[in-house]
């Protein structure tokens, strides 16, 4: 942070040349008082904004994502418990929580990308976040090539019903137990629990996640971002289950089931929600949600123009987040990679050099031809490709 504060001139040179977030232009003009926290600082607003713009470029090229998966670390999972000393709780070992979650994250991506469990995966975007108390969770958007949007195909991947209970020791019973343990929302609201964070007070105590959902005889795709999944009423064949809450047994129906995929639930044994993305309408919201930034405390009277103080004063970290950062695990990962192409006026490209004379001249000579200049030269040479855009040239010639 001291480095960033002391090298503002160089950072602003970068900013003025359009590499960083242009939205902050007005603030930057108040030179002298303003301290910029650049996009190169992991976790800063500009860093998130840069990733948001990169992610939206994937949508521009590949269309809407197919599935939206959220995986939450179960800190009491077997893998963690097996490595704890008798006097330890899971949160005494943030290193263990993070490393196990990272292994699960990699395995999930491997199965989706290499094994193609949902079909041919042509792109993905993965963002790691930390809940207040500290456990990591992941939001993952995946693009599947030519996924045929029929209710049947959606039902083959996603379920929102309680499975049959089955005999003890059977696969059915195992799935039933996993759904009841990890994939039941709340239940929240009147007659259930009133202290859950999903109960948004500004909306008359209604659940912020839209539970309980309505019963649906069949899956249908409407105008919303996600479809209305099949959730059968108990008398129409829907199963029910019991959940123990505060010493009470509560009867739960399909209204409370969070959308899940049975294979992923068996494999990862944690809260792993999967939704089908139906329209592009809410994609911008979904992406903004992905890149909303870290949770911050509210502090009155801070100078927003000093982005460094504004960030460091309000930020709070969990031990898991600290470990994640020091272990250099990724916060954001996407494929195909997106790079920001440099744009500049003639002779005004950015040149980074060491402050000695020889180096300056060598570096200037080396930077005479930038990507943009090379693009113009290529366009002059190749008559057949005159309609090619700057952003498409990498794809065409790589
Ligand atoms: Zn709720």
**192 and 249 in one domain?**
yes
Express each pLDDT in 48-77 by its tens digit.
888 888 888 888 888 889 999 999 999 899
**Dist CA 267 CA 93 (whole Å):** 23
**CA 130, 304, 200 angle in degrees (round to 5)?**
45
Q: Is residue 318, in this structure, part of any structural domain at all? A: no
**236 and 166 in one domain?**
yes
Ligand 1 center from residue 252 Cα (angstroms): 13
Residue 225's closest CA among 59, 68, 90, 395?
Answer: 68
Residue 220's closest CA among 211, 231, 209?
Answer: 231
Distances (CA, A) of 207 to 70, 159, 204, 274: 19, 21, 9, 19
Q: Is residue 37, in this structure, part of any structural domain at all? A: yes
Ligand 1 center from residue 177 Cα (angstroms): 21
Domain boundary (240, 257, 274) is at 257
Q: How confident is the model at residue 32, as a pLDDT?
A: 42
Q: Is residue 139, in this structure, part of any structural domain at all? A: no
**227 and 308 in one domain?**
no
Strand pairing partners for 272? 71
Ligand 1 center from residue 275 Cα (angstroms): 17
Q: Is residue 147, in this structure, part of any structural domain at all? A: no
Q: How confident is the model at residue 269, as a pLDDT?
A: 92
**Dist CA 268 CA 251 (whole Å):** 26
Range of the domain at 223: 159-257
Q: Is residue 54, in this structure, part of any structural domain at all? A: no
pTM of the shown model: 0.83
Q: Is residue 374, in this structure, part of any structural domain at all? A: yes
Ligand 1 center from residue 199 Cα (angstroms): 6
Instruction: Provide the greatest CA pair distance for the chain.
Output: 84
Ligand 1 center from residue 124 Cα (angstroms): 28
Strand pairing partners for 274? 69
Express each pLDDT in 195-213 by its tens digit.
777 776 556 778 888 888 9
Residue with tokens 């242009």: 22
**Dist CA 288 CA 291 (whole Å):** 5
Listed as ranges, residues in the chain with pLDDT below 50 are: 16-32
Q: How confident is the model at residue 356, as a pLDDT?
A: 62
Q: How confident is the model at residue 20, as a pLDDT?
A: 41
Residue 187's closest CA among 234, 251, 127, 247?
Answer: 251
Ligand 1 center from residue 204 Cα (angstroms): 13
**Dist CA 38 CA 61 (whole Å):** 27
Q: How confident is the model at residue 221, as a pLDDT?
A: 84
**Dist CA 207 CA 198 (whole Å):** 5
**Dist CA 332 CA 52 (whole Å):** 10
Q: Is residue 121, in this structure, part of any structural domain at all? A: no
Q: Is residue 295, in this structure, part of any structural domain at all? A: no
**243 and 163 in one domain?**
yes
Ligand 1 center from residue 45 Cα (angstroms): 29
**230 and 309 in one domain?**
no
Burial category of 396 from C-beta neighbours within 10 Å (exposed 0-12, middle 13-18, buried 19 and up): exposed
Ligand 1 center from residue 232 Cα (angstroms): 20
Ligand 1 center from residue 257 Cα (angstroms): 11
Residue with tokens 């979650």: 101
**251 and 163 in one domain?**
yes
> What total of structural domains would you count in the chain?
2
Q: How confident is the model at residue 198, as a pLDDT?
A: 79
């Amino acid at each position: 942070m001291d480095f960033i504060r002391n090298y503002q001139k160089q950072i602003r040179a970068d900013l003025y040349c359009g590499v960083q977030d242009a939205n902050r232009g007005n603030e930057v003009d108040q030179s002298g008082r303003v301290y910029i926290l650049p996009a190169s600082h992991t976790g800063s607003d500009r860093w998130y904004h840069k990733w948001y713009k990169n992610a939206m470029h994937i949508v521009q090229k590949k269309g809407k994502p197919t599935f939206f998966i959220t995986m939450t670390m179960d800190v009491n999972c077997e893998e963690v418990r097996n490595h704890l000393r008798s006097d330890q709780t899971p949160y005494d070992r943030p290193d263990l929580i993070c490393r196990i979650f990272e292994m699960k994250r990699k395995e999930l991506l491997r199965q989706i990308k290499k094994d193609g469990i949902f079909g041919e995966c042509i792109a993905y975007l993965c963002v790691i976040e930390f809940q207040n108390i500290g456990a990591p969770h992941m939001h993952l958007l995946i693009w599947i090539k030519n996924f045929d949007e029929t209710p049947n195909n959606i039902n083959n991947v996603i379920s929102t019903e309680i499975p049959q209970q089955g005999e003890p020791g059977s696969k059915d019973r195992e799935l039933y137990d996993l759904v009841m343990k990890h994939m039941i929302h709340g239940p929240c609201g009147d007659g259930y629990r009133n202290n859950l964070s999903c109960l948004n007070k500004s909306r008359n105590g209604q659940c912020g996640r839209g539970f309980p959902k309505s019963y649906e005889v069949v899956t249908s795709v409407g105008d919303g971002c996600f479809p209305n999944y099949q959730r059968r009423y108990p008398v129409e064949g829907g199963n029910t289950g019991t959940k123990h809450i505060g010493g009470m047994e509560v009867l739960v129906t399909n209204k409370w089931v969070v959308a899940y995929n049975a294979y992923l639930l068996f494999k990862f044994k944690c809260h792993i929600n999967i939704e089908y993305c139906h329209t592009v309408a809410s994609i911008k919201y979904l992406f903004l949600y992905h890149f909303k930034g870290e949770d911050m405390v509210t502090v009155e009277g801070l100078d927003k123009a000093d982005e460094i103080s504004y960030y460091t004063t309000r930020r709070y970290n969990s031990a898991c987040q600290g470990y994640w950062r020091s272990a250099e695990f990724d916060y954001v990962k996407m494929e195909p990679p997106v790079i920001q192409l440099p744009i500049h006026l003639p002779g005004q490209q950015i040149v980074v050099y060491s402050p000695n004379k020889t180096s300056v001249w060598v570096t200037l000579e080396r930077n005479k031809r930038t990507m943009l200049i090379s693009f113009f030269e290529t366009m002059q040479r190749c008559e057949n490709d005159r309609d090619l855009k700057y952003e498409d040239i990498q794809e065409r010639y790589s």
